[in-house]
Chain A
Amino acid sequence: MTNLFEVSNITLRFGGVVSLSDVSLYQKRGEILAVIGPNGAGKTSLFNSLTGVYKPQEGSITFNPKEGEPISIIGKKPHVISHTGVARTFQASRMFNALTTFENVKIGAESHKGLGAIGSILRGPATRKDEKYSDARTWDLLDFVGLRAKANYIASSLSYGERRRLEIARGLATNPEVLLLDEPAAGTNPSEKLELTDLIRKVRDEMEVSILLIEHDMKLVMSLAERLYVLNFGSVIAEGTPDEIRANQNVVDAYLGTTSVEGSH
């Protein structure tokens, strides 16, 4: 079985600054994979490269969807990559603040259809059917993440934890094969973190969506991730299961610290 993502030797530069240096990684289908490392290590740059926001100058990124040909990610625009089945959330939740929770998710649900300006104006039966379907899917997703009660609330009124869940629902609405989560637990309290962990696992188990996650909360990562990559200064310094990573001296020196073998924030 082919891997979902194959990242080979990518290097990303901004002027004189090297953000990612010869980074290679892969993600197995159905896996919960985590990328950890100190701030500035290049984790978000990696996400941005995987989603087409940045274009690495060297290397290649291949995405292997379940059906269809493998797709080379580098050089494609973000919306095209979204259509191939890659969804993501952002480090600072990027809500459509003026819209309701429901509308936020619905935009995700309907964004993969065709252009339909004429259809939007004429409201033919096909358009109405599409809209019913999007509505139904949106309600399902809101139930899935537990936000049905807040469906008609303006997105800017949600708490941090709720926003994270909204972003997840919105990303799932695009029917992806993999969901990239950028620090989903940032700014959440311990009980929210637990809920989030359960939710992420539920996403993988029930929706068969692979997960690639960036996180600083070591407890969360170690309990959730099946495999990890550790980045430091733009390079991969370690790869392995949580136990292997915890025991890796390089990682401990660079990031975890000697007193945090058990994992802490």
Chain B
Amino acid sequence: MHGFLSYLNAHFHALRLEFWGLLIGGIGSGIIYAMVAIGYTMVYGVLRLINFAHSEIFMTGAFAGYFTLNYLIGSSSPTGITSILLIVVGIIAGGLTGSFFAVTLERVAYRPLRKRKAPKIAYLISAIGASYFLLNLAAKEFGRIGRGIAQPYSNHTVFTIFGANVEMYNIIIFLAAGMMLIIVDRLVNKTKLGRSIRSVAQDSETASLMGVDIDKTIAMTFVIGGFLGGAAGFLYALNIGVLYSMGFTPALKAFTAAVLGGIGNLRGAVIGGLILGVTESFTVVFFSGAYTDVVAFAILVLVLMFRPTGILGELIGRSA
């Protein structure tokens, strides 16, 4: 017992020391989870289906960014405006690739099932198959060794808050991801396309009776979710690098974030992502790296058991 208490004590002490650093890191990964979570949550909204293959969308975006930046940067060390441009290019490359694969996925693996009104289990199995296909194809084509992305900027500490370093990487993530999240929020809440998406999410039969093109709306949902997922993959890879299996764990955590915030709820996905990222960051102090995955999984199980509608609640409520 005494050993356990002193263990706790030591770790809480470490937590206090590192608090701001951990918080910043946690928000950073949380924002990435949020971006991926939006993909899950939007697809769930319109299809009532968990897009299991979203992890591979994340991966393809990362690789797209990897190849693009490697080609453009080569061995140089860009600075200034070039850096910013390169980051933007990377994000666009990742995002567009993500959208492409997402839409293709929908067309090939989901739409035939939708036309047939297949039960949910069929979509899940199809998604798993697609996910495995893409993952192992990437392994075959791109090798099984992880690689780093050519850096478009030189990472350095820009400033410090309360003794914690805020690095270039953190700022890029906050800005880029933050902007994209705001854009998507605007898109879904203020535009005609967004209205179509929300109407299909609420009641697809009525929406189609009102003239909404269901197929196209669903495709656009995948485009948006895919873009964010792919871009998130790129941002993640800037720090961690690329590997064929890189999508699995972050996507699982992003899914947890989506459920935590309330599946189907966009703002919930963001909140869930941030909470998960920060919680995970703090728990690293207590457990070794491998076990942080257990933490995310435990959160998932707890949320599903005790509050399956998540923090903000399932936005598309079932009628009584």
Contacts and interface: CB of A to CB of B under 8 A. Distances in A.
B119 to A, nearest CB: 12
A54 to B, nearest CB: 8
Interface in A1-48: 14-15, 17, 19, 45
Contacts of A45: 320
B317 interface: yes
A32 to B, nearest CB: 27
Contacts, number: 7
Interface string B80-95: 0000000000000000
Contacts of B319: 14
Interface residues of A, number: 6
A180 to B, nearest CB: 18
Interface in B306-320: 317, 319-320
Contacts of A19: 320
Nearest to B319: A14
Interface residues of B, number: 3
Nearest to A54: B320
Interface string B288-320: 000000000000000000000000000001011
A17 B318 CA distance: 12
A229 B317 CA distance: 30
Nearest to A12: B320
Interface string B98-115: 000000000000000000
B200 to A, nearest CB: 22
Contacts of A17: 320
A14 B320 CA distance: 7
Interface string A67-78: 000000000000
Nearest to B320: A14
Interface in B112-162: none
B144 to A, nearest CB: 44
A14 B319 CA distance: 8
A170 B319 CA distance: 28
Contacts of B317: 15
A52 to B, nearest CB: 15
Interface in A41-85: 45, 54
A102 to B, nearest CB: 25
Nearest to B313: A15
Contacts of A54: 320
Nearest to B318: A14
A76 to B, nearest CB: 19
7 contacts: A14-B319, A14-B320, A15-B317, A17-B320, A19-B320, A45-B320, A54-B320
Interface of B: 317, 319-320
